[in-house]
């Protein structure tokens, strides 16, 4: 796979967003840089051998100064690896092939990680359970299996499952779905209005109120208003 030339305008999509799905290696260079010309073919060859497990992008910092400033580059060549939108490793200066190989090897997913990723992508209950046998605290597998269990009505099992990992946006929604179930949008206003009179003294009513808001989501324009009303009733 050929290296991708990235500019200030495409950095967000080609590096930050893409790194949420695959490791992205950024090679910062300039036409006048001799060591850059030495390193370039080496890193391209090593990354190409990963068969897409690692993606290489190249940035001409003379033409794209904002990217160089973002990385606080003091000299080039400079190489940075990003995963999930964050820098996880890097090096500066031209390196021999065996050093570049070791650097890339440290970034590529192991065979087990690759297998787990493929099982999660399968998405069926059997595959997800195998993934969790291999990595019991895998958040993606737990989230996907929790959603399947709730959809199948096995809510207690789903709630027990998500307790394995720290609470996050996905597990909060799974828990809310398990406790409340999916409710038609046109029922939410009447239910929330009725619950408001109970939330101060009734823990179950308060939890149901919060769960409904969780299922509505922050994008629903009513959510912020109902959260303010909840705060007023509680305090």
Rounded-to-integer distance, Cα 35 and Cα 93, Å: 7
**Contact (Cβ atoms closer than 8 angstroms) between residue 233 and residue 225:** no
Q: Which two tokens stand for residue 179?
A: 């406790």
CA-derived radius of gyration, the chain: 24
DSSP, collapsed to helix, strand or coil, labels residue 76 as coil
Helical (H) or strand (E) element with 24: strand 23-29
Catalytic entry in 15, 26, 36, 78? 36
Q: Which of 35, 43, 45, 46 is nearest to 77 (CA)?
A: 35
Is 122 a residue of the active site?
Answer: no
CA distances in angstroms from 234 to 200, 201, 217, 224, listed in the order given: 5, 9, 21, 15
**Percentages of the chain per state (helix, strand, coil), in multiples of 5:** 60, 10, 30
Is 79 catalytic? The answer is no
Residue from 24, 25, 33, 55 carrying the catalytic annotation: 33
| The CA-based dihedral angle spanning residues 49, 13, 84, 171, taken in that order and rounded to the nearest 10 degrees | -130
Q: Which of 92, 105, 83, 82 is nearest to 36 (CA)?
A: 92
**Residue 11 · residue 67 · CB < 8 Å:** yes
Tokens representing 110? Answer: 């192991």
Active site residues: 33, 36
């Amino acid at each position: 796979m050929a290296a991708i030339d990235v500019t200030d305008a495409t950095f967000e999509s080609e590096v930050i967003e893409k790194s949420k799905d695959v490791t992205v290696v950024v090679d910062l260079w300039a036409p006048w840089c001799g060591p850059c010309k030495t390193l370039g073919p080496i890193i391209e060859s090593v990354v190409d051998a990963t068969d897409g497990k690692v993606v290489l992008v190249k940035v001409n910092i003379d033409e794209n100064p904002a990217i160089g400033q973002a990385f606080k580059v003091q000299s080039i060549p400079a190489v940075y690896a990003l995963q999930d939108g964050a820098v996880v490793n890097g090096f500066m200066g031209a390196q021999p092939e065996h050093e570049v190989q070791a650097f890339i090897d440290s970034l590529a997913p192991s065979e087990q990680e690759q297998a787990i990723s493929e099982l999660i992508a399968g998405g069926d209950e059997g595959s997800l359970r195998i993934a969790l046998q291999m990595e019991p605290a895998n958040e993606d597998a737990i989230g996907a299996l929790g959603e399947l269990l709730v959809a199948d009505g096995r809510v207690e099992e789903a709630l027990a499952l998500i307790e394995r990992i720290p609470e996050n946006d996905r597990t909060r929604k799974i828990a809310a779905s398990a406790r409340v179930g999916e409710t038609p949008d046109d029922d939410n206003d009447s239910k929330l209005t009725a619950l408001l009179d109970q939330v101060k003294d009734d823990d179950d009513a308060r939890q149901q109120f919060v769960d409904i808001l969780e299922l509505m989501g922050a994008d629903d324009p009513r959510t912020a208003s109902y959260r303010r009303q909840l705060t007023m009733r509680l305090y």
